[in-house]
Amino acid sequence: MPGGFVLDENIYAGNADVYNGSWRFKKHYLGTYAIPKFDGKKPFGEGEEFECAKLIDSSAKVLYWLRNKDSDSASFRLPMGGRTEWFYPDFIGELVDGRLFVLEYKGELTGQSADTIEKKAIGKLWAAQDSSRYVYATIYGSAPSGLTVAQQIEEAFKNRGEM
Nearest to 66 by CA among 44, 47, 46, 89: 89
Confidence (pLDDT) at 160: 59
Confidence (pLDDT) at 161: 47
Confidence (pLDDT) at 4: 64
Q: Give pTM, 2 decimals.
A: 0.90
Confidence (pLDDT) at 144: 78
Which residues of the chain have a pLDDT value below 50?
161-162
Confidence (pLDDT) at 123: 94
Confidence (pLDDT) at 1: 61
Confidence (pLDDT) at 109: 58
Show the domains of the chain with their CATH numbers. Answer: 48-156 (3.40.1350)
Helix (H) or strand (E) holding 135: strand 134-140
Confidence (pLDDT) at 84: 76
